[in-house]
Amino acid sequence: MAVGERLCLDGLLTITPGQRLLVTGENGAGKTTLLRVLAGDLEPDTGAVRRSARIGYLAQELPARSTRLPLLAAFAAGRPGLPEEYAEQLLALGLFREEDLHVPVAALSAGQQRRLQIASLVTRPADLLVLDEPTNHIALDLVEDLEAALAAYPGAVVVVSHDRGFRERFPGERLELRDGRRC
């Protein structure tokens, strides 16, 4: 599989149910490109990717959030029923307080927006989570909560992180990329 000159993986990369994979490498090594291909956000120029799972994807960068939509409505977007039906589920995650639910997403801090992304991701059915720098924009105590949530998550997880502590504690296999190639 190849994507321009950014990524070239010879051979087979298989993600199995329940697998934990940490992708490492220097900046520009192709980590984000690999995750985007796995998530279906980017198609390879050559080779093939077979995705037989429901995939949850957390991009490295926060999307532009100019929406006036309240936090709870943004969390409930695309789900059946009324937003109010999801308040308890969102609050149970411990990422927000009740008074946050009606704050417009555009008024949230970068950390709160990242928490909204994570909350949306972990509460939708997925067999594979693809997480690009999931600890960006969140406080240390929430990193620990994220690690606990990932440990309890039954599906496969593929992660890129520059967070040294997160990488040291990551309980899984490692795939190192150098110049867009597997090492």
| Whether residue 183 has pLDDT greater than 70 | no
* Amino acid in the structure at residue 126: A
Domains of the chain with bracketed CATH: 2-64+109-115+124-182 (3.40.50.300), 66-107 (no CATH)
Confirm if 24 and 164 have CB atoms less than 8 A apart. Answer: no
Confirm if 56 and 93 have CB atoms less than 8 A apart. Answer: no
Confirm if 19 and 170 have CB atoms less than 8 A apart. Answer: no
pLDDT score recorded for residue 181: 67
Per residue in 6-17, pLDDT tens?
Answer: 555 666 688 899
CA distance 28 to 21: 19
* Amino acid in the structure at residue 104: P
The average pLDDT across 78-106 equals 94
The average pLDDT across 91-118 equals 91
pLDDT score recorded for residue 107: 93
- Which single residue is written with the structure tokens 């990193």? 143
What average pLDDT does the chain have?
A: 87
Confirm if 130 and 53 have CB atoms less than 8 A apart. Answer: no
